Protein backbone atom coordinates (compact mmCIF):
# COMPACT_ATOMS: atom_id res chain seq x y z
CA UNK A 1 0.00 0.00 0.00
CA UNK A 2 2.74 2.49 0.96
CA UNK A 3 4.76 1.76 -2.19
CA UNK A 4 1.71 2.25 -4.41
CA UNK A 5 0.87 5.67 -2.95
CA UNK A 6 4.49 6.83 -3.22
CA UNK A 7 4.58 5.95 -6.92
CA UNK A 8 1.12 7.40 -7.55
CA UNK A 9 0.80 10.92 -8.98
CA UNK A 10 -2.12 11.72 -6.67
CA UNK A 11 -0.25 12.92 -3.55
CA UNK A 12 2.16 14.98 -5.65
CA UNK A 13 -0.77 16.53 -7.50
CA UNK A 14 -2.55 17.46 -4.28
CA UNK A 15 0.59 18.76 -2.56
CA UNK A 16 1.45 20.86 -5.62
CA UNK A 17 -2.07 22.25 -5.78
CA UNK A 18 -1.94 23.13 -2.08
CA UNK A 19 1.42 24.82 -2.56
CA UNK A 20 0.05 26.93 -5.42
CA UNK A 21 -3.14 27.93 -3.61
CA UNK A 22 -1.36 28.63 -0.33
CA UNK A 23 1.44 30.61 -1.93
CA UNK A 24 -1.00 32.68 -3.97
CA UNK A 25 -3.22 33.38 -0.97
CA UNK A 26 -0.32 34.24 1.34
CA UNK A 27 1.54 36.46 -1.12
CA UNK A 28 -1.58 38.24 -2.40
CA UNK A 29 -3.52 38.82 0.79
CA UNK A 30 -0.98 38.73 3.63
CA UNK A 31 2.69 39.13 2.69
CA UNK A 32 2.34 41.94 0.17
CA UNK A 33 -0.05 43.96 2.33
CA UNK A 34 1.96 43.59 5.54
CA UNK A 35 5.23 44.45 3.78
CA UNK A 36 3.70 47.50 2.08
CA UNK A 37 2.47 48.81 5.43
CA UNK A 38 5.64 47.95 7.36
CA UNK A 39 8.77 48.68 5.32
CA UNK A 40 9.90 51.75 3.42
CA UNK A 41 9.10 51.95 -0.29
CA UNK A 42 12.62 51.23 -1.60
CA UNK A 43 12.91 48.11 0.60
CA UNK A 44 9.44 46.95 -0.38
CA UNK A 45 10.26 47.40 -4.05
CA UNK A 46 13.59 45.58 -3.70
CA UNK A 47 12.07 42.58 -1.91
CA UNK A 48 9.13 42.34 -4.30
CA UNK A 49 11.56 42.55 -7.21
CA UNK A 50 13.28 39.41 -5.89
CA UNK A 51 10.08 37.57 -4.95
CA UNK A 52 8.00 38.13 -8.08
CA UNK A 53 10.14 36.13 -10.54
CA UNK A 54 9.99 33.16 -8.16
CA UNK A 55 6.29 33.66 -7.45
CA UNK A 56 5.28 34.00 -11.10
CA UNK A 57 7.56 31.10 -12.01
CA UNK A 58 5.67 28.96 -9.51
CA UNK A 59 2.34 30.21 -10.87
CA UNK A 60 3.46 29.02 -14.30
CA UNK A 61 5.26 25.77 -13.47
CA UNK A 62 2.85 24.31 -10.92
CA UNK A 63 -0.22 24.37 -13.21
CA UNK A 64 1.87 22.64 -15.89
CA UNK A 65 2.80 20.00 -13.29
CA UNK A 66 -0.88 19.72 -12.30
CA UNK A 67 -1.78 19.04 -15.94
CA UNK A 68 0.85 16.32 -16.17
CA UNK A 69 -0.17 14.68 -12.90
CA UNK A 70 -3.96 14.91 -13.21
CA UNK A 71 -5.19 11.81 -11.36
CA UNK A 72 -7.18 9.35 -13.40
CA UNK A 73 -9.67 6.74 -12.23
CA UNK A 74 -9.33 3.28 -13.76
CA UNK A 75 -12.67 2.13 -12.31
CA UNK A 76 -14.52 4.97 -14.01
CA UNK A 77 -12.41 4.79 -17.18
CA UNK A 78 -11.02 8.30 -16.69
CA UNK A 79 -7.50 8.80 -18.00
CA UNK A 80 -4.92 10.76 -16.05
CA UNK A 81 -2.43 13.37 -17.16
CA UNK A 82 -2.81 15.53 -20.25
CA UNK A 83 -4.99 13.02 -22.10
CA UNK A 84 -7.40 12.90 -19.16
CA UNK A 85 -7.40 16.68 -18.94
CA UNK A 86 -8.52 16.90 -22.57
CA UNK A 87 -11.41 14.44 -22.16
CA UNK A 88 -14.84 16.04 -22.46
CA UNK A 89 -15.94 15.42 -18.83
CA UNK A 90 -12.82 17.19 -17.53
CA UNK A 91 -12.75 20.19 -19.83
CA UNK A 92 -14.70 22.63 -17.68
CA UNK A 93 -13.89 21.20 -14.27
CA UNK A 94 -10.14 20.67 -14.74
CA UNK A 95 -8.81 21.92 -18.08
CA UNK A 96 -10.25 25.43 -17.87
CA UNK A 97 -9.06 26.20 -14.32
CA UNK A 98 -5.62 24.62 -14.83
CA UNK A 99 -5.16 26.35 -18.20
CA UNK A 100 -6.31 29.64 -16.66
CA UNK A 101 -3.78 29.28 -13.84
CA UNK A 102 -0.99 28.45 -16.32
CA UNK A 103 -1.79 31.30 -18.73
CA UNK A 104 -2.15 33.76 -15.84
CA UNK A 105 1.26 32.81 -14.47
CA UNK A 106 2.85 32.93 -17.91
CA UNK A 107 1.38 36.38 -18.67
CA UNK A 108 2.69 37.63 -15.33
CA UNK A 109 6.15 36.09 -15.85
CA UNK A 110 6.70 36.80 -19.54
CA UNK A 111 4.77 40.03 -20.17
CA UNK A 112 3.78 42.01 -17.09
CA UNK A 113 6.89 41.43 -14.96
CA UNK A 114 9.35 42.58 -17.67
CA UNK A 115 7.17 45.61 -18.49
CA UNK A 116 6.93 46.51 -14.80
CA UNK A 117 10.68 46.11 -14.25
CA UNK A 118 11.38 48.37 -17.23
CA UNK A 119 8.96 50.99 -15.91
CA UNK A 120 10.59 50.83 -12.47
CA UNK A 121 14.05 51.31 -14.02
CA UNK A 122 12.71 54.23 -16.05
CA UNK A 123 11.29 55.77 -12.86
CA UNK A 124 14.66 55.44 -11.08
CA UNK A 125 16.35 57.20 -14.00
CA UNK A 126 13.72 59.92 -14.06
CA UNK A 127 14.06 60.35 -10.28
CA UNK A 128 17.77 61.06 -10.75
CA UNK A 129 17.00 63.61 -13.45
CA UNK A 130 14.25 65.21 -11.33
CA UNK A 131 16.24 65.15 -8.10
CA UNK A 132 13.20 63.65 -6.32
CA UNK A 133 12.05 60.09 -5.71
CA UNK A 134 9.06 58.69 -7.59
CA UNK A 135 7.11 58.33 -4.33
CA UNK A 136 7.79 61.86 -3.02
CA UNK A 137 4.64 63.89 -2.53
CA UNK A 138 6.27 67.04 -3.92
CA UNK A 139 5.63 68.23 -7.45
CA UNK A 140 6.73 65.69 -10.03
CA UNK A 141 7.76 66.20 -13.61
CA UNK A 142 5.33 65.31 -16.37
CA UNK A 143 7.61 62.42 -17.28
CA UNK A 144 7.49 61.03 -13.73
CA UNK A 145 3.72 61.41 -13.58
CA UNK A 146 3.44 59.46 -16.85
CA UNK A 147 5.75 56.72 -15.54
CA UNK A 148 3.82 56.50 -12.27
CA UNK A 149 0.58 56.22 -14.22
CA UNK A 150 2.06 53.48 -16.43
CA UNK A 151 3.28 51.61 -13.34
CA UNK A 152 -0.17 51.95 -11.77
CA UNK A 153 -1.83 50.50 -14.86
CA UNK A 154 0.63 47.59 -15.00
CA UNK A 155 0.17 46.95 -11.28
CA UNK A 156 -3.61 47.02 -11.69
CA UNK A 157 -3.54 44.57 -14.59
CA UNK A 158 -1.15 42.32 -12.67
CA UNK A 159 -3.41 42.38 -9.61
CA UNK A 160 -6.43 41.49 -11.75
CA UNK A 161 -4.57 38.61 -13.43
CA UNK A 162 -3.46 37.41 -9.99
CA UNK A 163 -7.07 37.41 -8.73
CA UNK A 164 -8.17 35.45 -11.82
CA UNK A 165 -5.41 32.92 -11.11
CA UNK A 166 -6.48 32.66 -7.46
CA UNK A 167 -10.15 32.17 -8.37
CA UNK A 168 -9.20 29.48 -10.91
CA UNK A 169 -7.19 27.72 -8.19
CA UNK A 170 -10.15 27.86 -5.80
CA UNK A 171 -12.47 26.54 -8.53
CA UNK A 172 -10.09 23.66 -9.19
CA UNK A 173 -10.08 22.93 -5.47
CA UNK A 174 -13.77 22.11 -5.72
CA UNK A 175 -12.98 19.68 -8.55
CA UNK A 176 -10.39 17.95 -6.38
CA UNK A 177 -12.82 17.82 -3.47
CA UNK A 178 -15.48 16.21 -5.67
CA UNK A 179 -12.97 13.52 -6.71
CA UNK A 180 -12.21 12.70 -3.08
CA UNK A 181 -15.85 12.26 -2.04
Residues 6+ apart with CB under 8 A from 64: 102
Q: What is the full DSSP assignment across 50-107?
A: HHHHHHHHHHHHHHHHHHHT---BTTTTB--HHHHHHSGGGIIIIIHHHHHHHHHHHH
Res 3: pLDDT: 66
Q: 17-26, pLDDT tens digit by residue? A: 999 999 999 9
Determine the Cα–Cα distance for residues 144 and 150; give it in Å rounded to an integer: 10
For the entire predicted model, the pTM comes to 0.91
Q: 69-86, pLDDT tens digit by residue? A: 998 877 777 788 899 899
Determine the Cα–Cα distance for residues 166 and 28; give it in Å rounded to an integer: 9
Distance of CA 8 to the CA centre of its chain: 26
**pLDDT (mean) for 126-143:** 85
Res 7: pLDDT: 85
Res 61: pLDDT: 98
Phi and psi dihedrals of 73, rounded to 5? Answer: -145, 105
Q: How many CB atoms lie within 10 A of CB 3?
A: 7
pLDDT range class, residue 1, cuts 50, 70, 90: low
- Whether pLDDT at 56 is above 90: yes
Lowest mean pLDDT among 92-106, 132-146, 166-180: 132-146
Amino acid sequence: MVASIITSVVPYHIISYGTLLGTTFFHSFINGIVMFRTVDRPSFSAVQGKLFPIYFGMQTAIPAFLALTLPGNALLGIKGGISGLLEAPNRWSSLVPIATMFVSGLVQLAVLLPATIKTMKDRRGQAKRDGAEWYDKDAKSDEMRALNKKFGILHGISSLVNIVEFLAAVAYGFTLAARIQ
